[in-house]
Amino acid sequence: MEILAFGVQSDERPLLEEAFRAARPEDRHDIRCLDVFLNEDTAPIAAGHEAVSTSVNCELGGRVLQTLATGGTTLVAQRSTGFNNIDLPVAERLGMTVARVSSYSPHSVAEFAWTLAMAVNRRIVRASNRTRDFDFRLDGLMGRDLHGRTVGVLGTGRIGEAFTRIAHGFGMNLLGWDAAENPACLDLGMKYVPKERLLAESDLVSLHVPLLPQTEHLLDAAALRTMKDDAILVNSSRGGLVDTRALVAELRAGRFTGVGLDVYEAEAGLFFLDKSLEVVDDDTLARLVTFPNVVVTSHQAYYTVDAVGEIIAATVRNVLDYLAGRRSENVLAPAPART
């Protein structure tokens, strides 16, 4: 069988191809890697392929899934933990199996979130741009010690826990918010509080929750106004957790020491692509990147050789499980039977 993989990055391609080559002889299958993302325009390419593999910025709405099903696709193996880009009820109605990567190295994202936090706190981008022009002044580069200050972690699962461990190493006061308390975070001294209190008291707020209907715009205009004027905000989870228009309004008002964003709620069709020679008509993003205290990166927090290797290994297992008729915790559709 040949698996058709959409949205494969150049660094990812050799790892993906080698993973399928390294399988046992009876488990070896060909994989064809495409750099284009799956959407309504590219879906017909998959005709004749029983299995496709997708990335988080592929579009798998009802029309795309119908095109895939008509072409004979019965497996979608998503190379990510998030799956808000897939219309699961439609996939199930069409008899398709959908699997994701339920977990991978939490350290990749947690460490990158801290990279963003430190970059905006210590004005690293501004300093680097200056020194390229041999401008070695310190004006405007003053940051703050994080030791002794308060960090608020929204979402304390595996990634939030890893982020919290780093915060503990900095000697910060730890506040958490989640539906369930993480014993490991409690052991580090984290205090769980309501979201409003966390936002009001934190010098640094970091988001580590999934994007669900109940978490969309978790940080809306009202929530953002609750935060300290000199707070730092980091989002390395999902763009839709933050109301970006409201965030721009707060930044225009001169609020926040810094904002580090690895995700953006309208990133589909932009992130992972070279748009440098085009006019980008997203006025909100265009305004966002002009603020000197904002750093925007292109959804790269997960992008380490360790994490990508784990994602690819899980994707291979998902394909093999599907062919063998096995079901794992990675399967999203068909939905598990209710008990």
Catalytic residues: 238, 267, 299
The CA distance from 124 to 120, in Å, is: 7
Long-range CB contacts (within 8 A, 24+) of 167-176: 170/146, 171/146, 171/147, 172/146, 172/147, 172/148, 172/204, 173/148, 173/149, 174/150, 175/150, 175/151, 175/201, 175/202, 176/152
Tokens 């488990």 belong to 27
The CB density around residue 30, as the number of other CB atoms within 10 Å, is 11
- The angle subtended at Cα 45 by Cα 43 and Cα 50, nearest 5°, is 85
Q: Residue 28 half-sphere exposure, CB side, CA atoms within 13 Å?
A: 8
Distance of CA 73 to the CA centre of its chain: 26
